[in-house]
Amino acid sequence: MEEKYYPLVLAFLAAFALRLYPTILSGLPFSTDAWSPIRNTELLLERTPISLDNAVMDGYNCYWPANSLFGAVFS
C-alpha cells in the first residue's frame, strides 16, 4: 500500500473504533431508537403476562408489539 493512504486508513480505523466503543462497553446497540424497545422487551420478560397497553410499558412503542415480542423470543 502506498504511504499516502496510511492517514486515510488510520482515520477510518479510529472512526470505526470510536463508533463501536459504546456498543462494546455496554453490550447494547448505540442507537436512541433501540433503547425503548429494549426496555419494553426487558419489562415484557420480567412481568409476563402483561397487557401491552399497560401503564408499565412506555405508551409509544407498545403499539407495534412485534418488536418487543421478537426481542423477548430471541433473547
In this prediction the pTM is 0.55
- Rounded CA-CA distance 66/44 in Å is 12
- Rounded CA-CA distance 18/23 in Å is 10
Number of CB atoms found within 10 A of residue 57's CB: 21
Cβ contacts of 45 within 8 Å, gap of 6 or more: 72, 75
Residue 61 is placed in which grid cell? 412503542
Express each pLDDT in 50-63 by its tens digit. Answer: 777 777 777 777 77
Q: Which of the residues in the chain have pLDDT under 50? A: none
